[in-house]
Structure 1
Amino acid sequence: MEKVKNIVIGFGKGGKTLAKTLANKGEEVLVIERSAQMYGGTCINIGCLPSKRLIIEAEKKTAFDQAVVGKNEMTAFLRDKNYHMLADEPTVRVLDGTAKFKSDHVVTVTTPTGETLDFEGERIFINTGAEPVILPIPGLADSKYLLDSTGAMDQSDLPKELVIIGAGYIGLEFASMFANYGAKVTVLDASDKFIPREDDDISQMVFDDLSALGIDFKLGVKIKEVYDLEDKVEIVYEKDGEHTVTADKVLAATGRKPRTSDLGLENTAIKLDDRGAVVVDDQLHTSVPGVWALGDVKGGLQFTYISLDDFRIVKDELFGAGKRRISDRKNVPYSVFIEPPLSKVGLNEKEAKAAGVEYKLFKLPVAAIPKARVLKDTRGLFKVLVDPETDLILGATIYAKESHELINLLSLALNAKLPYTMLRDQIYTHPTMSEALNDVLK
C-alpha cells in the first residue's frame, strides 16, 4: 500500500483547482478519475459548457450535426488542457480508475485493466459530482430510445420528435435548444405548476414564449409506462384519461443525485443523508477527520461555481485564515439558459411575501430597452426588490437577453450591501442591457 499526502477523488472543478493549488505548494497529490473522458469535470465535458455551446449554435441556426462536431472539438481541447494542467505538475499523479474506500483513509483503485491499487491518504477530498436520476417509470430505464442529459448532447442526428420528462430548469434548457434546432418537443411533468419558484408573471411569460417556440407542455400528468415500438418510443400518461405520445427519443430530465453509491462509504464512518449526499459541516469536513467533500457530491446547489467556492473554503483552511464558511454564501445567482435567459439572485416577490418581508418593487418591460431593439428580442421583464427603509437591494429577477451577465452586477450590489441608488445613478456604456438599470430603478 502506498501512502500519499493528498488524494482527490474526481477531476471536477473544486477537486482539480485544489489539486493544482496543492501542487503549487509543493505537495504530493493523487488525482483519481474514473473516465478519461471526464478530465476537468462535468461542466466542461457533459454539463455547462457543451450544453451552452449547443444552445448558442441553435440560436445561430447551425445544423445540429455540425454543432455537435464543434461541441466535441471544444470539449476535447478543454479536456486535454485540464489533464495537462495537473499531469504536467511534478508532484501530481493522475490515475484512471474507480475509487472505493476500504477504510476511513484507505482507497482501493481499480484501473481500466482490472489492476487494483491501495492508497492511504493523509488528506482525502471527495469530488465525485452527481449523476442523472431516472424515475422508476415502467419501461423507461430499459428503453433503447432513452437519453439522459449527457446522451442528449451526443446525438449525431437531431431527433425529429423528442419527449422530455421533467419541466425543471434542465428540461427547459434542452426543450428550448432542441426546438430551436427544429425538433418537435413535448414536455411532460407531474406538477401542474410551471417553474413554481418563480413569480407568477415571470413563469407565465416564460411559458408563453417557450410555447410560441412550438414546445408542447403537458403539466400535471402521471406517466404510466414507456415502451419501445419498432422505430419509436411511446409514452403513456394520464391526465383526464389515458393518452399516448410517440417520439424518436425520450429525455429524462428529472434531476441529478450525488454520486456516492459505489464509493464504498459503508466501509467508513463517513455519513450520508437521506438523498445519498455526503454530510459535511460548515467547512466541508465529513464525519471522518481529514476527509472533505466538495461540489455536487455533498448535496445542495449543483453549480460549478459552488464547487469553485468549496475549493476556496478548503484552501482558506489549509493555507489561509480559516474563516470561510458555506454559510457565508447568502445570495447565489443562477441563470436558466433558455431563450431569452432567465436569471435570479436573492428574493423574488413570491419569496418576500412568504417570508413577510416588506419591499418596494421596480419593474421594466424589456421592450422599453434600446439594446433589446438592437438585439431584435424585446421579450422579457426586469424586476428588482428593494428594502423601503434601507434602500438595499433584496433581490432581482431578469428575464431578458444577456441576463446571465447582468445578474452578476445585481449579485455584487446585493452582497456588497450597496443601495439601489448606486446602480440607478451609475454611468453605463451605451447601448447595453445594463444601462436599463438607470430606468428600472427610477
Structure 2
Amino acid sequence: MAETYDLVVIGGGPGGYVAAIRGAQLGMKVACVEREHLGGICLNWGCIPTKALLRSAEVLHLAKNAKDFGLKIPTVDFDLDAIVKRSRGVAGQLSGGIGHLLKKNKVTHIAGEATITGKGKISVKQTDGKTVEVAAKDVIIATGARARELPHLKADGKHIWTYKHALQPDCVPGKLLVIGSGAIGIEFASFFNDLGSNVTVVEMMDRVLPVEDAEISDFAAKAFKKQGLTLKTKSSVTELKVTGGKVVATIDENGKKTSDSFDRVILAIGITGNIENIGLESVGIKTDRGHIVTDEWGFTGVAGFHAIGDVAGAPWLAHKASHEGVIAVEKIKGLKGLHPMDKGNIPGCTYCRPQVASVGMTEEKAKAAGHKVKVGRFPFVGNGKAIALGEPEGLVKTIFDEKTGELLGAHMVGAEVTEMIQGYVVGRTLETTEAELMHTVFPHPTLSEMMHESVLDAYGRAIHF
C-alpha cells in the first residue's frame, strides 16, 4: 500500500530540498525523492564546485603577482589533482549537509527515481533496486536541467566536455575552445586561462556575456582580452571532429569559415529541462521547448501538480529555484498576503575574473520599455578600497527612471561585485528611489561606496570622481 504524504517533492536540488523543508515547517508531512545527489547540480556539479575551482585560480593569480603587494614567492605552481580534489570535497561536504537538514526537519528522503503514474500517485525505483509507491495531495516537480547538446556538438567526455567533465579535468589543455560565453562558458574560460591554457571563446551573439548590459559586457571583454583570451563573437562552431587526439573545429566567424585544432572543447550552449521519463504525459502536464509550463505560483494547470526551478524555465539560477520553492509551498498551504516572484528582482552573478553581477533592466531594455533614464557610473579606480586591494579595474552602473526615481537596473564588473549586488536587490525589492539610496550611509573604506557614488553620479552629484 502506498505511503501517503501531504507533499512529495521530486528532486533534491536547491529548489526541491528548500520546498520540502518549507513544507515541513508549515506542518506538512513531506517526502523528497532524489535519484542521485542531494543538493542537485548546484551543490554537486555547478555553483559550488565551480566556485571552489575559481578560488584556486584566484589564489594562483595573486601568488603569481605577489610582488605587486611587496611579497616574495620564489616559485608558484599548482597541482591540478589537488585543486579538483578540494572542489569535490567542498561539494561533498555541502551535499551531506542537505541530508542532515532534511532529517532535522522530519522530511522523508527517498533515494531513487520517481515516475508520476496518476493523480497524486508516484512510483519510485529506489537505488537499492526496490520499487515503492507513494501518494500525495500535492506534488512539486523540481527535476532540474542538464547541459544542452546539438546534433553536431556532442560531448564524448574525453576531448569534448560538458560542465561535468570540465569540473574533473584530466589535464590543463594547451589549447581550449569554449563554445558559449554565458556564465558557465566564461567561468570555465577564466579558470583554465588562469591555469595557463590558451583559450578561445566562440559566441553566436554580438558580444560575450550577452544577457548583461552592453557597457558591462564590453568592459569585461576588454579585461578578458588583456588576460589573453581570444573572443570570437557573431560566430558559431559548425563542426567538431576528433582526430589524432585533437579536436578540429570548424568556426564560422561572420560568414567566413576557418578550421583550428584544440586539445579540449567545452560545450556551454545552454541547458534543457529534465522533463523526460517522469510521467508528465500520464496526467497531461504541458511542456514547451524543454521546460514545464507554469503560472506565477508554479502551478502547472493540472490539479495537485506544481513545478519549480530549472525545469520550469529561465532564469536558470539556484536562488530563483529556492525562492520559487518557498512561494509554491506557501501557495499550496494557502497562506495569505503572498506575492509572486518578480523576476526583475533576481540578481545574476558570474564569477569570472573580473566578476560580473546585475539586477533589473539593462540600459537598452529600459529605454525600449519607454523609460526616460538617468544613468550613473563609478569606476573602481576612484575607490580607495579597490586600489588598496590591487583591484582598480571595474565599473558600477545604475539606471533610474527620470520621472519617478525608480531604480530600474544595476550592473557591475570588478572584484567582489557578486557580493555587492545584493544591496541593489534589496533596494529594488523595497521599491527604493534614488532619494533613499543617496541618504544611505555606506561604510568607509569599502567597495560598496562605489554603489553610493554611482547613484550620486546619475544625478550629477558624484563626489570622488
TM-score scaled by length of structure 2: 0.88
Match of 2:450 in 1: 436
Shift in CA distance, 216/330, structure 1 to aligned 2, threshold 3 Å: closer
Instruction: Quote the offset at 1:395 in angstroms.
Output: 1.5
Is the CA contact 1:68–1:156 (under 8 Å) kept in the aligned structure 2? no
Shift in CA distance, 222/16, structure 1 to aligned 2, threshold 3 Å: closer
Q: Tell me whether 1:81 sits opposite 2:97 in the alignment.
A: yes
More divergent stretch after superposition (237-246 vs 375-384): 237-246
Match of 2:24 in 1: 23
Q: How many residues align?
A: 437
TM alignment of 1:117-266, pairs within 5 A: 117-137=132-152, 140-142=154-156, 144-239=158-253, 241-266=256-281
Is the CA contact 2:18–2:326 (under 8 Å) kept in the aligned structure 1? no
Give the partner amino acid of 1:210: F
Shift in CA distance, 324/168, structure 1 to aligned 2, threshold 3 Å: same
Match of 1:60 in 2: 59
Distance 1:323 1:277 in 2: 28
Instruction: Quote the offset at 1:3 in angstroms.
Output: 3.4
SS of 2:218's equivalent in the other structure is helix
Q: Tell me whether 1:268 sits opposite 2:279 in the alignment.
A: no
Instruction: Quote the offset at 1:194 in angstroms.
Output: 3.3
SS of 1:158's equivalent in the other structure is coil
Shift in CA distance, 353/63, structure 1 to aligned 2, threshold 3 Å: farther
Distance 1:210 1:25 in 2: 48
Cα offsets for 1:326-355 (capped at 9, x unmatched): 354442221111212111112222112222
Is the CA contact 2:273–2:291 (under 8 Å) kept in the aligned structure 1? yes
More divergent stretch after superposition (14-23 vs 125-134): 14-23
Is the CA contact 2:324–2:341 (under 8 Å) kept in the aligned structure 1? no
Give the partner amino acid of 2:14: K
Distance 2:252 2:398 in 1: 39
SS of 1:134's equivalent in the other structure is coil
Instruction: Quote the offset at 1:308 in angstroms.
Output: 1.5
Is the CA contact 1:313–1:322 (under 8 Å) kept in the aligned structure 2? no
Instruction: Quote the offset at 1:318 in angstroms.
Output: 4.0
Give the partner amino acid of 1:81: G
Match of 1:314 in 2: 328
Is the CA contact 1:99–1:107 (under 8 Å) kept in the aligned structure 2? yes
Match of 2:416 in 1: 402
Give the partner amino acid of 1:220: K
Give the partner amino acid of 2:54: I
TM alignment of 1:289-308, pairs within 5 A: 289-308=303-322
TM alignment of 1:355-394, pairs within 5 A: 355-394=369-408
Shift in CA distance, 354/146, structure 1 to aligned 2, threshold 3 Å: same
SS of 1:261's equivalent in the other structure is coil
SS of 1:60's equivalent in the other structure is helix
Q: Tell me whether 1:33 sits opposite 2:49 in the alignment.
A: no
Shift in CA distance, 143/69, structure 1 to aligned 2, threshold 3 Å: closer
- Matching residue within 85, 92, 114 for 1:69: 85
Give the partner amino acid of 1:124: V
Q: Tell me, which stretches of 5 or more residues in structure 2 are unaligned?
A: 61-77
Is the CA contact 2:22–2:326 (under 8 Å) kept in the aligned structure 1? no
Distance 2:332 2:194 in 1: 47
Is the CA contact 2:119–2:304 (under 8 Å) kept in the aligned structure 1? no
Q: Tell me whether 1:344 sits opposite 2:371 in the alignment.
A: no
Shift in CA distance, 329/242, structure 1 to aligned 2, threshold 3 Å: closer
Instruction: Quote the offset at 1:25 in angstroms.
Output: 4.9
Instruction: Quote the offset at 1:202 in angstroms.
Output: 2.2
Q: Tell me whether 1:116 sits opposite 2:131 in the alignment.
A: yes
Cα offsets for 1:237-288 (capped at 9, x unmatched): 2335432222222111000111111212122221112x12111122211122
Give the partner amino acid of 1:60: V
Q: Tell me, which stretches of 5 or more residues in structure 1 are unaligned?
A: none
Give the partner amino acid of 1:83: G
Q: Tell me whether 1:412 sits opposite 2:426 in the alignment.
A: yes
Match of 1:2 in 2: 2
Instruction: Quote the offset at 1:27 in angstroms.
Output: 3.7
Distance 2:80 2:383 in 1: 32
More divergent stretch after superposition (107-116 vs 162-171): 107-116
Shift in CA distance, 244/328, structure 1 to aligned 2, threshold 3 Å: closer
TM-score scaled by length of structure 1: 0.92
Is the CA contact 1:12–1:42 (under 8 Å) kept in the aligned structure 2? yes
Shift in CA distance, 386/187, structure 1 to aligned 2, threshold 3 Å: same
